[in-house]
Amino acid sequence: MSPASSSKCNARSLASRSVWHRPATGLALTAASWFAIGQPAFAEVSAEVAHVFNTFSFLICGALVMFMAAGFAMLEAGLVRSKNVATILLKNIALYSLAGILFYLVGYALMYPADAWIGGIEVLGFMKGGAPYNPGDLSAPDLATGYSASSDWFFQMVFVATAASVVSGTIAERTKLWSFMIFVVVLTGIIYPIQGSWTWGKGWLADMGFSDFAGSTIVHSVGGWAALVGALMVGPRLGKFSGRKINALPGHSMPLATLGTFILWLGWFGFNGGSQLALGSGANATAMSVVFVNTNMAAAAGVVAAMITAQLWFGKVDLTMALNGALAGLVSITAGPDVSTPLLAMIIGGIGGALCVASVIVVERLRIDDVVGAISVHLVCGIWGTLAVGIFNPSVALHVQAIGIVAIGAFVSAASWVTWTAINAIVGLRVSPEEETSGLDEAEIGLQAYPEFGKNSF
């Protein structure tokens, strides 16, 4: 696949790199170089073979990222109380569906203006050679681009749903179902695509040299900023804070939360690995394997660091902190798994895991109620991971990374505040105290997740 053909930031593609060399010493290495030192140049494959493997990579990695929706659903279901489980599950499958529809109708065109347009009969409009492309016409693969346009769109779409999933867990157990759905429409159709166009859409941040391989900031911190504003506006759950006291409102199923974390860990290999954006050459296959390894090692270090931090802080190891430690490590490495060694990945992921534990404590002391710790995992560690690329990689300017973080954070926060405010004024954000007490399952959807155990008994 030609490096210039992909919708995401193209500078990282290794399709044109044919000769490996020993990199400069240090922790930050060129993508795949630590693994491929001394390997000879790869022989080229035919355009059709490259097209098949590139398309396959988009599809299978996109499917893995889609499976992360199940991970978010299980994690959030485990960390809410039983009276709200059915509602949180409904929100997760609904937000994924809305994200797909809105990104098709509006989001893709906003995020990649050079490849799509809005207007006329063709609403989406993949562009190929300056002419409208029908993604349903698969009779003649376009070997010039090196991949199926439909596969690329699918891979981009599942990332949008991930950003929306971050929000649902933070404001769970007290937010109206349809109010949340309206916000998802705006987030996935407008907010996410606009800021994404600044980077992966070859916009002004990309021109400055902002580097975010798979979306520590572009995806995860976007969800984190939106979640933070939502949590501030909707307020804490009843009983969470009593004066200066912070009351624990534990989730009902740690097995579900643990299962969700493992599913997310698995899906992250598609999230980061697929962001190599090519599998049509030996160089890209090697680079993707490096991204897989670094992703895994960062998550592992995040778990261990979170466990140690929790032990030192609380005197006991907290399972939920360990679970969030894994996710913190994954978010932290997402900005730069292509420019890290396994050792550096462990350092970045470990710092992310420790930061997450500290952040959870600080967020609660600020009287912000985040049910699943998503603000700490996705916002705080998203910022850290993006800065880490500039700290450890001399080819990336740290101040440019900071500019990208601030610009995206300011835009998403302001747009989210406007959206949440409008929704609150029109339909309201929060359920009544009586409905919150009885549970959103009964109040919002009339269905209990565990009816055989009786009302609110779990």
- 426 part of a folded domain: yes
Residue 21 has pLDDT above 90, yes or no: no
Average pLDDT over residues 85-106: 95
pLDDT one-digit tens code per residue, 440-455: 999 999 998 998 775 5
pLDDT at 8: 56
pLDDT one-digit tens code per residue, 170-190: 999 999 999 999 999 999 999
Chain-wide mean pLDDT for the chain?
87
Q: Are 281 and 36 in contact (CB under 8 A)?
A: no
* Separation CA 412–CA 407 (nearest Å): 9
Domain with residue 209: its CATH number is 1.10.3430.10
pLDDT band for position 195 (50/70/90)? very high
- 37 part of a folded domain: no
**DSSP string covering 107-158:** IHHHH-TTT----SS-SS-EEETTEEE-TT--SS--TTTTS-HHHHHHHHHH
Number of domains in the chain: 1
Q: Tell me the pTM.
A: 0.88
- 456 part of a folded domain: no
- 234 part of a folded domain: yes
pLDDT at 46: 85
**Portion of the chain with pLDDT greater than 90, in percent:** 76
* Distance of alpha carbon 415 from the chain centroid: 19
Residue 355 has pLDDT above 50, yes or no: yes
pLDDT at 457: 45
- 14 part of a folded domain: no
- Give which of 440, 445, 397, 332 is closest to 83, Cα–Cα: 440
- 29 part of a folded domain: no
Average pLDDT over residues 369-378: 97
Cα-Cα-Cα-Cα dihedral of 110, 116, 118, 123, to 10°?
Answer: -120
pLDDT at 147: 87
- 27 part of a folded domain: no
- Residue 345 sits at the vertex; the CA angle it makes with 335 and 207, to the nearest 5 degrees, is 25
Return the amino acid letter for 188.
T
- 5 part of a folded domain: no
Which regions of 351-445 does DSSP assign to beta strands (E)?
Answer: none
pLDDT at 6: 46
pLDDT band for position 105 (50/70/90)? confident
Cα-Cα-Cα-Cα dihedral of 379, 380, 386, 389, to 10°?
Answer: -160
pLDDT one-digit tens code per residue, 22-35: 223 233 334 445 44
- Give which of 23, 83, 89 is closest to 443, Cα–Cα: 83
Question: Could you tell me the two tokens for 192?
Answer: 């996410």
* Separation CA 426–CA 450 (nearest Å): 33
Query: Comparing 117-131, 140-154, 270-284, 423-437, which segment has the lowest mean pLDDT?
Result: 117-131
Domain range enclosing 417: 45-450
Average pLDDT over residues 78-99: 97
Length of the chain: 458
pLDDT at 142: 59
